[in-house]
Amino acid sequence: MQENSRPTDAVETLLSAYNPAPGTRDEMLDASGAIKPLWRALIERLATASNTEITESFARGDQYLRDAGVFFRDLDTETAAEREWPLSHVPVLIDDAEWQMLSAGLIERANLLEQVIADLYGPQTLISAGHLPASLVAGNPYWLRPLVGVAPGSGHYLDFIAFEIGRGPDGRWWILSDRTESPAGAGFAIENRVATTRIYNQHFGRENVHRLAGFFRTYRDRLHNLRQESDSRIAVLTPGPQASTHFEDAYIARYLGMMLLQGQDLTTRNGQLMVRTVAGLRPISVLWRKVFSAATDPLELDETSGIGTSGLLNSIRQGSTTLVNALGVGVVESRAMLAFLPRINRALTGKPLTIPNIATWWCGQENQRELAISRGQELVFGAAQSNRLPFDEKDATIEGSHFSHPDYDSLGAWIEAEGADIVGQESIALSTSPAFVDGQLVPRPMNIRVFLARTEDGWKVMPGGHARIGHSQTPTVMSMRQGGRVADVWIVADKPVIEDTMLAKPGMPMSRPQRGNLPSRASENLYWLGRYVERAEGLIRMIRAYHIRLTEGMGREAPLTLHMKWHFKEFGVDETQSVPVALHNALGSAVKSASQVRDRFSVDGWVSLTELTQSARQLGSDLEPGYETARAMGMLLRQLAGFSGLIRENMYRFTGWRFLSIGRAIERAADMSTALAHYADASAPEGALELAVELGDSAMSHRRRYSVATNRETVIDLLALDPMNPRSVMYQLDEILEHIRFLPGDDAAGRMTPLNREILQQHTALAVRTPDTVDTAILNEVRASMNRLSTLLSSAHL
Amino acid sequence: MRYDIRLSIDYTYASPVGSGRHLLRLMPQDTPEQRRVSGLLTVEPPPRERTDRLDFFGNDVVEVVHTAPHSSILFTVNARVERVGPLTATTDEFPMANMRAELAQFQSLDALSPHHFLAGSTRIKPLPVWREYARSVVGAGLTVRAAVEAVGLALHRDMTFDSGMTTVDTLPEDAFARRVGVCQDYTQIMIGCLRALGIPAGYVSGFLRTEPPPGKKRLEGADAMHAWVCAWCGPEEGWVEYDPTNAAFVLTDHISIGRGRDYSDVSPVRGMLKTTGKTVTSQAVDVLPLTS
């Protein structure tokens, strides 16, 4: 910090462009334009930091997000390309005392929603008593008829929900929408918090900011208590890697220590929900559902869903499965519900809602229709059954004061004809909060997604949230897609708060997860990840060796380079391409497999793999053959070694790691025996044996082991038979044998499975050989055996 | 009228399937208008799991699970029903103009509530084409029942029955654009039109008697499963059934299996099959009146 500038001058400079619009409320400045005490410390810190300090600290936050693999993906674009996570580097600050009051109101609303949902799927007295029009519910696409009369396994319909809230000009908070279906954003809130913490690591007021971990821990404890058997596990049910929220699902699963499952991982047996694991079907009773209700069971719900589990509803009906939240809870999300919830609350409790929701009129009911038409000039009109925010641009909303419609010449005529599909809503000028734009603080409209979880002690509100910051000062344009940003939310107490982490408290019983629960889909992807990474490494070595030969003056038509072409052909490698398509394919397949199991290995591992793929892509097709290409391949090889090292050193030795290792070993054994079949064959040209040693990365070992020059027997000995050389075929067979021993699902009587038999036969066959008896036919047989192993492994475990 | 009903649906797969789960809506309903004397649904090969229940609309549903490999599957129904016919008197006095106010008073979402049948559904979306057509064939000031008949007669006049032009997955608007289809298409098109007029309308699946009464024409669609429309004609008359394929109100020649918002609520066999290659389906229906 610069000692010579007095804070007040610096603050004035920082705020020179900070001019909240008249008539809106600002979070940071009070009505007189003075900074509120809550914000003073943060603003003074920003004001007194040099430009370099600010740039560096913001970059720290952004770097964290990149390293963590947090990207924003737009579901609606064809390409679904990821872009940088749009973090607004200034958090939104809210006073703790105010937050406590707000929380009480949110809990009241959570209980109201629970009651409404329970009624709509139960006795429907709200309808018979006239508090809710029957036609509104009947036309709601989120009210799922097959679930009517089905009680939720947890005893509650809602366990984890969110509210979008915003503050109006008079300082009151408003509910903008209710998110009950499967609210996203809680994981991103954690990531925003970690990134923002990196930025303000020296900010002295931070010890007063409430931590988020306790909220998640108590929620996780409740999910554990919902299990029917204490040894069964809990899973997050995700739509899969193609969904925009998949990163968050994987993140949450890892953060809370839950399995991450997709619909295809599940099936049912006699009404019991089962996970397809490497050890066969295993029961599971609790799922945190992140899949849209209608997509969860194609048999009884949306028959076009490709991500569901047929028979899921039957297992719920039989009481063996608890989904959190229950299916069909999205019924209360629709905008038109906002027109009735205040009245329902009054009918149920005799009191008005503590926090109002945005004033809404449903035009499908006569008295509301008339009110909406009479106030038409002040309202915004949109789709009644939509669950989007009032100002979301994806809905064709019509401002009453600027009415235009292709089929109707007046607002009244439109509403009269299509009223059941229309709501009118008051528009709120949202409060503004500071954002850092081009080196200056400017006011930007904001709203916050707040999360609530049911715990053993009732609803808890997450002390923080996911704030969305508009990209311009107009409060109606808020969509992130349109260039808006997101921000952390700090709930600031007037004294230091208790530190909290996800780790178990001392004295709590420790539970150790059992082995063998790995979903088959996950193990399959890990197996192929192992294979593709090893395939890529082999290809890179081959390409490098080829271009080294070119550098050394060997032409493309020399006997050895021509011979290499035949080897390349087996892997689909076109030697005229400096970076062959086959390499991109192998790396692409590795990333694709890895993306399915991002919850199973570290963020560093994921990032290093994607960086490697990007490096390969950036090399381009115009890379100069010879030296340039050989050098580029060397670089890729080192990056790949980085990835392999991260996996080898850091991956927990669970069943999944064994599948990954088996994949690597099978690929390496197959690749090495193929290379030897080509280069150690009697017909191979001069220099082929040295090439084999080079591909096997064993030149140094060869020099050390043998005092003689390279000959066929030393090469076969070192690369095929030597159990101490981690590149040899024998070493791979040892590895496979060892890993398969640990896989679940062995024959109960101790009889050998076909998989055991195949590897043991091949292992023995090679172990008894001497170098002079290993000919090309034997090597080809090893390769064929690896293919058989792969098939047997698939049918037994994957 | 008493009927003996025999139905068999046979799927043959090009290569054996490892497992399957089906939802069957094949059993004739048991209601005051149609009493089921007996009914048996069998599945071959026998399923590993079977659950019988009623769905939201009160239709009989059977869920069957196969876990052993099989290359064909046969569903058979044998049932005897006593078809009574409509129980409410045909008053034909409820004007279209009263519908909105009447519905606002109807505060229930039970299975027979008209509210389920007014909004768009999975396969029948609220489209301008329904409104345009319906308004062109229904005059002002009609009763609801008269409007139902007017739409049905108009469709029967404008559409051509052709079993080769559409499939079970054809959308009603596509069939309507070509003015061709089978009972399923006629029914879904008519539902779209009635809903556009504000009349609650649903889809009924079932059977027709195979041979007509002496001296009458054989009805279209009698050799397979059939479908027709139900429409809510006000609090007095309640649900009225109309068969647009044959341009007639339903009396005792129709035996219903189930009712829903459109085909997907009552599709006879619903289920996911993991199979490669072509699946061959055959269907046989016999609906024989008992003379005794």
pLDDT in tens, A385-396: 988 776 665 666
More confident call, A157 vs A749: A157
A492 to each of A495, A496, A649, A780, B39, how far by Cα in Å? 8, 9, 40, 69, 69
Handedness of CA A684, A687, A688, A690 (dihedral sign): positive
Name A695's Cβ contacts closer than 8 Å, sequence gap at least 6. Answer: A538, A541, A542, A545, A672, A675, A679
Q: A721 pLDDT exceeds 70?
A: yes
Say how far apart CA A601 and CA A607 lie, in whole Å: 11
Cβ contact, residue pair A314, B107, below 8 Å: no
Residues 6+ apart with CB under 8 A from B284: B6, B7, B8
Q: What is the pLDDT of residue B276?
A: 57
What's the confidence (pLDDT) of residue A465?
A: 95
Asked if B21 has any chain A CB less than 8 Å from its own CB, the reply is yes
Q: Do the Cβ atoms of A436 and A199 come closer than 8 Å?
A: no
Residue A724: the pLDDT is 92
Q: What is the DSSP letter of B292?
A: -
CA distances from A360 to A143, A196, A430, A580 (A): 20, 36, 17, 60
Q: Beta strands A422-426 and A379-383: pairing type?
A: antiparallel
DSSP H or E run through A254? helix A246-256
Residue-level pLDDT at A488: 96
Cβ-based interface (< 8 Å): residues of A facing B: 124, 127-130, 133-135, 137-139, 145-146, 148, 268-271, 298-300, 302-303, 310-311, 314, 317, 365-366, 420
Output the six-digit token pair for A582: 């086959």
Is the model's pLDDT at A82 over the cut of 60?
yes
Q: What are the pLDDT digits (tens) for A259-305?
A: 899 999 999 998 899 999 888 888 998 999 999 999 999 999 999 88
Q: How confident is the model at residue A452 (pLDDT cuts 50, 70, 90)?
A: very high
**Would the CB atoms of B51 and A314 count as touching at under 8 Å?**
yes
**Mean pLDDT throughout A500-528?**
66
Bond preceding residue A239 cis, omega within 30 of 0: no
**Cβ neighbours of residue A797 under 8 Å, at least 6 residues apart?**
A278, A520, A523, A659, A743, A745
Q: What is the CA radius of gyration of chain A?
A: 31
pLDDT exceeds cutoff 80 at A475: no
> What is the predicted pLDDT for the residue at B121?
94
Query: Which residues in chain B are contacts of A336 at CB distance < 8 A?
Result: none
Answer yes or no: are the C-beta atoms of A34 and A11 closer than 8 Å.
no
Q: How far is A346 from chain B (nearest CA, A)?
A: 20
CA distance B271 to chain A (A): 6
Share of chain B above pLDDT 70, in %: 97
What would the two tokens of residue B122 be? 């999975």
Q: Which of A128, A148, A365 sits opposite B56 (nearest CB)?
A: A148
| Residue B259 at interface with chain A, using a CB cutoff of 8 Å | no
Kindly tell me if the per-residue pLDDT of A344 is higher than 60: yes
pLDDT of A703 above 60: yes
Task: Please compute the mean of the pLDDT values over residues A589-609 and round it to a whole number.
Answer: 83
Name the token pair of B231.
């429409």
pLDDT at A513 over 60: no
For residue A637 the two structure tokens come to: 């090889």
| Cβ distance of A311 and B63 shorter than 8 Å | yes
pLDDT at residue A437, rounded to an integer: 87
B-chain CB neighbours of A128 within 8 Å are: 107-108
The more confident residue out of A748 and B26 is B26
CB contact under 8 A, B107 and A311: no
Lookup result for tokens 């998110």 = A179
Lowest-confidence pick of A341-355, A549-563, B270-284: B270-284
Please, which pLDDT band fits residue A245 given cuts at 50, 70 and 90?
A: confident
CA distance A159 to A286: 12
User: Over 90: is that where the pLDDT of A717 sits?
Assistant: yes
Beta-bridge partners for B248: B243
Average pLDDT over residues A602-626: 86
- Beta bridge partner(s), residue B43: B75
Q: What is the ipTM of this complex?
A: 0.94
Taking the CA of residue A758 and the nearest CA in chain B, the distance in Å comes to 26
> What type of residue sits at position A329?
V
**pLDDT on residue A178:** 96
More confident residue, A596 or A17: A17
- Three-class SS of residue A562? helix
Per-residue pLDDT at A109 exceeds 60: yes
pLDDT above 80: residue A585: yes
B25 touches chain A (CB under 8 A): no
pLDDT of residue B271: 85
Residue-level pLDDT at A1: 42
pLDDT of residue A102 exceeding 90: yes
Query: What does the pLDDT look like over A18-77, one tens digit per residue?
Result: 999 888 899 999 999 999 999 998 998 889 888 899 999 999 998 888 777 777 665 444
Closest chain B residue to A135 measured between Cα atoms? B115
Whether A101 has a pLDDT exceeding 80, the answer reads yes
Backbone angles phi, psi at B74, to 5 degrees: -130, 125
Helix H or strand E segment including A697 = none
Would strands B279-289 and B2-17 be described as parallel, antiparallel, or unpaired? antiparallel
Instruction: Quote the minimal CA–CA distance from A116 to chain B in Å.
Output: 15
How confident is the model at residue B27, as a pLDDT? Answer: 97
Cα of B218 to nearest chain A Cα, Å: 35
Residue A433 contacts residue A421 (beta carbons within 8 Å): no
Which B positions 84-103 lie with beta carbon below 8 A of chain A?
103
Would you kindly state where each structural domain of chain A is located, as residue ranges?
A: 1-207+330-358+428-500, 229-319, 359-426, 520-797
Question: Can you tell me the distance from the alpha carbon of A741 to that of A159, in angstroms, rounded to the nearest whole number?
Answer: 42
Whole-number Å distance between alpha carbons of A547 and A626:
4
Question: Closest Cα partner for A317 from A121, A117, A182?
Answer: A121
Query: Residue A80 — very low, low, confident or very high, per pLDDT cuts 50/70/90?
Result: very low
pLDDT band at A181 (very low <50, low <70, confident <90, very high): very high
Res. B143: pLDDT tops 50: yes
CA distance A267 to chain B (A): 11
pLDDT digits (tens, 9 = 90+) for A517-527: 778 888 888 99
- Mean pLDDT confidence for A165-191: 92
Whether the predicted pLDDT of A597 surpasses 60: yes
pLDDT at site A417: 86
Q: Which of A481-490, B105-114, B215-224 has the lowest mean pLDDT?
A: B215-224
Res B83: pLDDT: 94
CA-nearest residue to A139 within chain B is B119
Mean pLDDT, chain A, rounded, equals: 88
Tell me what percent of the residues of chain A surpass a pLDDT of 70. 92
Structure tokens at A643: 């990835």
pLDDT bin (cut points 50, 70, 90) of residue B76 is: very high
pLDDT of residue A607: 84
Q: What's the whole-number mean pLDDT along residues A772-783?
A: 93
* pLDDT per residue as tens digits for the range A361-379: 999 998 999 999 999 998 9
Query: How many contacts, defined by CB atoms under 8 Å, are there between A and B?
Result: 68
Which carries the bigger pLDDT value, residue A355 or residue A403? A355
Asked whether the predicted pLDDT for residue B3 surpasses 90, the reply is yes
| CATH for the stretch A229-319 | 3.40.50.11290
Instruction: For residues B29-41, give the mean pLDDT.
Output: 95
Give the model's confidence band at A656: pLDDT under 50 very low, under 70 low, under 90 confident, else very high.
confident
Residue with tokens 């070192």: A718
Give the DSSP H/E element, type plus range, for residue B272: strand B269-273
Instruction: Name the token pair of A497.
Output: 């708060």
Domains and their CATH numbers in chain B: 2-83+268-289 (2.60.40.2250), 96-266 (3.10.620.30)
Look at residue B274 and tell me whether its pLDDT is greater than 60.
no
Count other C-beta atoms under 10 Å from residue A374's C-beta.
10
Mean pLDDT on A573-601: 87
- pLDDT above 90 as % of chain A: 56
pLDDT at B217 over 80: no
Are the beta carbons of A299 and B271 separated by less than 8 Å?
yes
- Is the per-residue pLDDT at A483 higher than 80? no
The per-residue pLDDT for A268 is 92
- Alpha carbon dihedral A167, A173, A174, A178, in 10-degree steps, equals 110
Amino acid identity for residue A146 in this structure:
P
Structure tokens at A187: 């994981």
pLDDT value, residue A229? 74
**Cβ–Cβ gap B23/A148 under 8 Å:** no
pLDDT tier at A701, thresholds 50, 70, 90: confident
- The predicted structure's pLDDT at residue B258: 96
Other beta carbons within 10 Å of B99 = 21
DSSP 8-state symbol, B117: G
